[in-house]
Every structure is written in structure tokens, then in C-alpha cells.
Amino acid sequence: MQTRKGMRWTLSALITLLTHTAAAQCEIQHFEGYSNGLNGVVMFRQPSFSGTTSGFLAYTGTCSSGPNCAQISLERNRTPSGSRALKVVWQFNGNPRAWLRLTTFNTLYYANPTISFQRRLSLWLYVPSSTPDFYLTLGVRETQPRAACGANGGATGGIEWVGATQGDASNPPIGKRIRQKDRWVQVVFDLPSEPVLPFAGGANGVLDGRAGVLEHLAFTPVDPSDARPYTVYIDDIRVLPNENDPVDPPWIFGLHEPGGEFAAVAEGKRIWILFTEELGADPNNQTGRDYRPYVNAGHGVIVRLNYGYHPNGTLPPSSQYANFAQRVANFVRNSHGAHIWIIGNETNLPAEWPGGENGESITVARYVQAFRMCRDAIRSIPGHEDDWVCAAPVGTYAPPFPQYGIPGFLDYWQQMLDAIGAEQDGIILHAYTHGSDPNNIFSETRMQPPYDQVYLHFRVYRNLLSRVPPSLRHLPAFITETNQGEPWTNTNNGWIKNAYQEIHTWNQNPANQAIWGVCLYRWPQIDPYYIEGKWNTIQDWREAMRNDYRWRRDAVGDVDGDGCVDDADMLGVLFRFGQGGYNRYDLNWDGAIDDADLLHVLFAFGQGCDG
């Protein structure tokens, strides 16, 4: 464990800083939330699964009887707020060409995870002293995925070895030597700059495309004749970002539409702002919107793209989906400052259908068709290839409309998410209470049968998240609408404070899907549910924002996102001292990188630096 007194201003730290700076990150797997002992089903198969290397193993039987395990374990854990890691155990048989291909091929949970070829992949290892030294190589499959980061990117394509300086189809890969023992060690593969060698399936020694799949980890013994068993614990696998990636505010506070940012700024916070745009479906309309004034002030921008509003429909008639997708692309191309987009709104509700209840219903199949067309259109635009495109939230509490082919809100939600699958980048929710009692936020009261498993109040967000497929639970979630189910009463009764406390508590459990933002509906005086001018309600919100409720689990001070507050983080702040902020180096998010940010690093120095 490093200490503040142990800070070393080294050349290696400087090199690390200059080559490994970052902004935000994609967490792929931290192995929390799974039953202890699960073997070969969470991201990685058991060691004997791959026929390529099973012949090099001394034992290929059941994990309970010998060294052939890739199981959830409570024995070691790197994340302070967690309790689990993946324990991998195997034994080689002395073959001089031995190596282990620990594959992610079609596992039950988090199979074939998508990673960027333009960023760094980080993972943490704990190797007991009884385990011999080995070389570690990253095996990536060139699937050209359409999936979000971490989602299933497919299992077809050539496989390249990243980080290996030797190796081919007949000889094992020689990658990064792992010799540190009895401590957690971070291993980073800088994919754009690592050596690449071809392994299988038409690979050519070049990473083709912008993204692919983490197909396997390759473990090669330094001494193949050493017959001791190998035990390796794996934890906190994530994609680390690039310097110029979008940076989002670290707190969970937000508003539906702009106008109230001044209250957040007064409390030293910046917020998420949901913008809603009416685009129409004219494929020749090139207008966009400039969101940079909000981004430059430190706020996060989420944009909901609608064809129109009632009675015109949040989506157009299905005959106009192609034109709408082109209009969406034109709007995104000519807008600035946004990278999170929502396609439509509450599409299970008749009020959101083109023509209303007498018009064309937006069935799950129709919505999925429109969503995919829009996502493909957005991601085809230069500079927007990695934008987050999110499916519409459902109209919470809505009953089924069987005469129109619309199931109840939870079933519609699940069917929609299942059908879209890996081609979505975030989860959007709406959650409300029925009445202004602040205790409704924590209420366990359920609805009447047949909906007696559904929370009547705010905790309906838990019902919605429980229907998210396990393969998508690494995605960021946002509650983009919440209120009391009635006009705000202009009272400071603690409802808002309780709502943010509830989500903060939820986020503290690493097994839960993280909720990045909660937007109060709504600021402007457009309908009866407005907040503008209701100063007691605004005060309730201001008092909520005096809490440091963050969606990020990383230690404050970890500016490069590698999980450890160390010399590189200190140098990152020092080298940007005096510059404008609203990025990871601006640790208090006040718009300037200054003494206060240095103090954040100093007070957190050593956190997360296990070993």
C-alpha cells in the first residue's frame, strides 16, 4: 500500500501519465452479485473448455475435485465496497508448448464482451506465491460488433493476440510477464500501441475495426516443466478511456429541461439535464442544436429525440421510420456538445402514438425497428461512432392494451430490452410516487392484484431494473423523469432529499446496476408539474445537493481511472494546474484545476493501490 510519504516523482510515472490519461470508463465486470462458487458461467469458461489448450492440462474434471475452476470466490477481492472476485485454478502437464486459453465464448453471463480497440483494457490480478510465474496475453476477436461496451459482441471473426512478442498457431504466446505475488496487480493492455500477432481464423496481426471482443486471456508458463497448480484471482475488468472522451458530471442530481442550473451551481454541483427535441421526419431538414454552453459550464447533456408530441406521436407512422432516422442523423450531425441520445418516449402509451389511440400503436416490434434504424444512423456519423443511443423509457404503471398488441408496462419493457439486446448503450427509467408524502420514497407498498409485485411508489425503479437482462446490467442507468405524481406542492418537505438518498444508497451496493442521474420533472412552466418559481421545492433540492452523492465508485482523486490514487494522478493535476476544468482533473468540478484538486489527490493518496 502506498502512502502520502511514499510519493515518488519518477520517470515511469511521467510516462504513465503522458500515455495513459483518461476521462470516463466502461466497467465490464467486477464479479459482484453472483452466487459464491458459480463455475465457468460468469464471463470466463472453466480452464478445460477450450479444445485448443485442454490437452496441455493435467486435470480436466470437475472443479470440486481438482484444479479446473473459473469460479466466483469470496477468498480475495480488490474492490473495497465489494466481496467477490473470479478464482481461476488449473495445472499444466509439462508439455513444453503448454498454454491456457481462458475463453469468454458464449458464457451464461457476460459472454463475448465488446471492447474498444482504440482504448486501454485494465484488469487486476492476485497471484499467490505458490503459483509459478507466467506470461499474460490478451486474445481479441475481430467481430466488428454493433454492441455497447461490455455487451455480447458475437463469436465470429479472426482472433489476434495483443501484447505478445512471440507466438503463432503452433507456439504459445509470450506476453506480459506476471511475477508479482501475494498482492493485487493491475495489468493494462494499451490496444492501439501493443504488439499484435495473428492467432486464428484469418487473423493478420492488425486490429481491424474500432472494436471487437475480449475472446480469451492467454496464460503461458515461464517454466513449462514446473508442475505446480496455478491459482489466479481476477477482478475489476474495465475499458479505460482516452483523454478526449466525453466527461460527465460525477453526481446523480438532474433536471428535466434547463433553467434551474443556478441552484446546483450555488451548492457547488453540476447536474444532468434532459433536453427533449421535436424533430419531425423531413429528411432534408438539417437543423441541429448547440448544447456546448451547458457542457462548458460542467453539466451533463441527455437529449431525447422525438418525432413530435401528442397527438402527433413520439415516433412517426412506421411508413416514415426511414425518413425519421435520416432526420435524427441530420440533427445529431449538426448539433454540438451531446453524446447521449434517447429515441422516443413512453412508447407503450396511446398518448405517444402517432394519431393517439386511434392512430398506429407502437408495438415492441415497431419500436425495435425504429430504434435500430436511428442508432445505426447516429453511429455512422464521423465523431459519433461511440455515442450512447438509449431505448425509450416505458410509461410506468401503464396497463396492457391487448386490443393494440401492447402488454403491461413491465412486460413491454422487458420484451423491448430483450429484442434490442446488445445494441443499446444505457438504460432510461421513469419513477414516481403517488402523492407528496416524503415517506413514499422508501415505501414498500405494492399495487393491487394482479400487479401486487409492483411497487406503488418510487421504488418501482427496482421493478424496472429487475427486468433488465443480466447481459445489460453493466450499462449506466438514468431516471430521466421523477416527481410526486401530482403538481409540486411548493413545500420543503424532504421528498427530494429522500429521493436522492434512496438512489445513493442503491448505488453503494456494487451488485446493483449503477444509476448515474435522477432528473426531477420538470423545470419550466410548460405543464402543471413545473418547479420553476416554487422556492420551497427548490430549497428541498438545494439541500439534497449538499450531499456528495456520486455515481462513480472510484476514489475521488483517481483522475486516470485506473483504480489507484497514485503519482500519476498527482502529476495529472499538476500538469494541468491553472487550466479550465470540468474534466477528471477538476476533482471538485468547479471549472478550474487548482489547489483544491491537488488536496483531493493528497488526501486520497494510496486508495485502491492494493499490495
Per residue in 201-218, pLDDT tens? 999 999 999 999 999 999
Spatial distance between the Cα atoms of 40 and 498, rounded to a whole number of angstroms: 41
- Please report the pLDDT score of residue 568 as a whole number: 87
pLDDT at 373 over 90: yes
Spatial distance between the Cα atoms of 219 and 98, rounded to a whole number of angstroms: 9
Average pLDDT over the chain reads: 92
pLDDT at 512 over 80: yes
How is the chain split into domains, by residue range? 1-24+243-248+554-611, 26-240, 253-544
For 358, phi and psi rounded to 5 degrees? -90, 0
Measured in whole angstroms, the distance separating CA 600 from the mean position of its chain's CA atoms is 25
Of the listed ranges 88-92, 300-304, 480-484, 586-590, the one predicted with least confidence:
586-590
pLDDT at 436 over 90: yes
Task: Write the pLDDT tens digit of every residue in 133-155.
Answer: 999 999 999 999 999 999 999 99
- CA-closest candidate to residue 410, choices 396, 392, 421: 396
The shares of helix, strand and coil residues in the chain, as percent rounded to the nearest 5, are 25, 25, 55
- Please report the pLDDT score of residue 560 as a whole number: 78
Say yes or no: do domains 1-24+243-248+554-611 and 26-240 share a fold.
no
Measured in whole angstroms, the distance separating CA 314 from the mean position of its chain's CA atoms is 26
For residues 500-513, average pLDDT: 95
pLDDT at 4 over 50: no
Superfamily (CATH) of domain 1-24+243-248+554-611: Dockerin domain (1.10.1330.10)
The pLDDT-based confidence of 23 (bands split at 50, 70, 90) is: very low
- Please report the pLDDT score of residue 247 as a whole number: 76
- Please report the pLDDT score of residue 518 as a whole number: 98
Side-chain half-sphere exposure of 348, counting CA atoms within 13 A = 25
Prediction pTM value:
0.91
pLDDT at 9 over 60: no
* CATH dotted code for 26-240: 2.60.120.260
pLDDT at 102 over 60: yes
pLDDT at 510 over 80: yes
- Please report the pLDDT score of residue 423 as a whole number: 96
**Nearest-10 Cα torsion for 554, 558, 563, 569:** 180
- CA-closest candidate to residue 137, choices 84, 198, 96, 56: 198
- Please report the pLDDT score of residue 610 as a whole number: 67
- Please report the pLDDT score of residue 14 as a whole number: 32
- Please report the pLDDT score of residue 25 as a whole number: 58
For residues 328-339, average pLDDT: 97
Spatial distance between the Cα atoms of 6 and 1, rounded to a whole number of angstroms: 9
How many other C-beta atoms lie within 10 A of the C-beta of residue 419?
16
The pLDDT-based confidence of 553 (bands split at 50, 70, 90) is: low
Q: At CA 462, angle to CA 458 and CA 468, rounded to 5?
A: 140
The more confidently predicted of residues 17 and 119 is 119
- CA-closest candidate to residue 391, choices 366, 431, 423, 356: 423
The pLDDT-based confidence of 13 (bands split at 50, 70, 90) is: very low
Task: Write the pLDDT tens digit of every residue in 258-287.
Answer: 999 999 999 999 999 999 999 999 999 999
Task: Write the pLDDT tens digit of every residue in 407-419.
Answer: 999 999 999 999 9
- CA-closest candidate to residue 272, choices 288, 289, 291, 252: 252
Task: Write the pLDDT tens digit of every residue in 81-99.
Answer: 789 999 999 999 999 999 9
Would you state the cell numbers that stand for residue 374, as one nine-digit string? 436511428
- Counting residues of the chain whose pLDDT is more than 70, the rounded percentage is 95
Cα separations (Å) of 104 from 14, 114, 203, 426, 448?
34, 11, 18, 23, 43
- Please report the pLDDT score of residue 562 as a whole number: 77
- Please report the pLDDT score of residue 20 as a whole number: 31
Spatial distance between the Cα atoms of 466 and 443, rounded to a whole number of angstroms: 17
The more confidently predicted of residues 584 and 324 is 324
How many other C-beta atoms lie within 10 A of the C-beta of residue 339?
22
Task: Write the pLDDT tens digit of every residue in 289-299.
Answer: 999 999 999 99
Q: Left (φ > 0), alpha (ψ -120 to 50) or beta: where does 209 sit?
A: left
The pLDDT-based confidence of 5 (bands split at 50, 70, 90) is: very low
pLDDT at 337 over 70: yes
Task: Write the pLDDT tens digit of every residue in 342-365.
Answer: 999 999 999 999 999 999 999 999
For 203, phi and psi rounded to 5 degrees? -65, 150
Superfamily (CATH) of domain 253-544: Glycosidases (3.20.20.80)
